[in-house]
Amino acid sequence: QTAGPLWKTPRTMPMDKYEYLSDVWRDGIFDNKVVFCTGGAGSICSAQVRAMVHLGANACIIGRNVEKTENMAKDIATARKGARVLGLGAVDVRKPEALAAAAERCAKELGSIDFVIAGAAGNFLATMDQISSNALKSVMEIDVLGSYNTLKATLPYLVESAEKYKVDGKTRPKAGTGGRIIFVSATLHYAGTPLQSHVSIAKAGVDAMSVSVAIEQGPKGITSNVIAPGPIAGTEGMARLSTDDSRRETRRQIPAQRMGYVKEIADATIYLFSDAGNFVNGETIVVDGGAWHTSSID
Ligand code: HXC
């Protein structure tokens, strides 16, 4: 049995035809599991969570805007009958105590935290000389410290989950994985991107953090990986960072000759969190149609 044709297009996605998940994945692979996601009301992270929920997980999404976060939680919950999705707004990832309280509430209400997606990010277009030290600090605090705070708040629950589902050939249960974290990063820092120095600096830190988690926490059964999306159509990032002209130019430069779909980020997420991703740790999966390789070519 496959996941089958999927959900309606949410209003935040002005695309003609949108699917959120390839039908190669099986229903129920995340039954009784819980995913905790920061930035969960955003275009990319909501698709990642929606796919997890569709395949059996319950979820807790974290955001700064209360209404947007609560509405998105309700919308995601429609992906599967009986799904439970908590939307915790007014939680700023820059505040460790707020994240700790959110993680505690998630574990208490939904029973565990098996998977974490650290997706909250801040961005704008500006050259280095237009950016104040406080502006860089804001982005560093949201992207780097925010991801770190997310990790710290959820690690005890992830370790508990990893212990339960440890893949050692003996104690492994019939199905299921846990104790996994994905950091949502970017490709901007690979070749250097004008107007994006602040995010490039921050995302390089996020990438380094993921590898540190992988090697230090790996012996406890934790896996930590990065997904680096390229230009993804219909997202807040694209809306903030591009114009019609620049989007046309971006599409021309991408080897795949198109932008990505949020579904393609969701698919990478499912891969890493599923049994198929058991031995992938400390890696970055770039999902960009080959874009960063040609980003500095005219
Ligand atoms: C220069 C700017 C600026 C701009 C803000 N600042 N916008 N500087 N150019 N366009 C400066 C301010 O002047 C201030 O510095 C400092 O940044 C902090 O601004 P605040 O507004 O006080 O900060 P805050 O309210 O905390 O907002 C943080 C933010 C904002 C990052 C600036 O944009 C935000 O909240 N973004 C969250 C949502 C978001 O960006 N989502 C998109 C993610 S897309 P001074 O010196 O004046 O005090 C993404 C995709 C990446 O990540 C990959 C793409 C391919």
Of the listed ranges 12-16, 127-131, 206-210, the least confidently predicted one is: 12-16
Residue in 64, 123, 136 to alter for ligand 1 test, most ligand atoms within 8 A of Cβ: 123
Q: Going by CA atoms, what residue is nearest to atom 34 of ligand 1?
A: 122
Q: Going by CA atoms, what residue is nearest to atom 11 of ligand 1?
A: 135
Residues 187 and 178 sit within 8 Å (Cβ to Cβ):
no
- Pick the atom of ligand 1 nearest to 232's CA: 55
Q: Looking at per-residue confidence, does 241 or 90 come out higher?
A: 90
Q: 19-38, pLDDT tens digit by residue?
A: 667 777 888 999 999 999 99
Residue in 138, 144, 236 to alter for ligand 1 test, most ligand atoms within 8 A of Cβ: 138
pLDDT in the model for residue 166: 73
Q: 95-139, pLDDT tens digit by residue?
A: 999 999 999 999 999 999 999 999 999 999 999 999 999 999 999
95's tokens: 């505040």
Q: Going by CA atoms, what residue is nearest to atom 38 of ligand 1?
A: 122
pLDDT in the model for residue 16: 39
173's tokens: 């249960």
Residues 237 and 185 sit within 8 Å (Cβ to Cβ):
no
For the chain, what is the radius of gyration of the CA atoms?
A: 18
Q: Going by CA atoms, what residue is nearest to atom 25 of ligand 1?
A: 138
- Pick the atom of ligand 1 nearest to 235's CA: 44
Ligand 1 site residues (CB inside 6 A) read: 121-124, 126, 130-132, 134-135, 138-139, 142, 186, 199, 231, 236-237, 240-241
Q: 145-176, pLDDT tens digit by residue?
A: 999 999 999 999 999 999 888 766 555 554 45
Cα 95 to ligand 1 centre (Å): 17
Of the listed ranges 53-62, 98-107, 139-148, 236-245, the least confidently predicted one is: 236-245
- pTM for the whole thing? 0.92
Helical residues (DSSP H) of the chain, grouped into ranges: 43-54, 66-77, 96-110, 133-140, 146-164, 188-191, 197-217, 236-241, 244-253, 262-273
How confident is the model over 81-100, as a mean pLDDT? 98
Cα 181 to ligand 1 centre (Å): 25
Q: Which residues are catalytic?
A: 185, 203
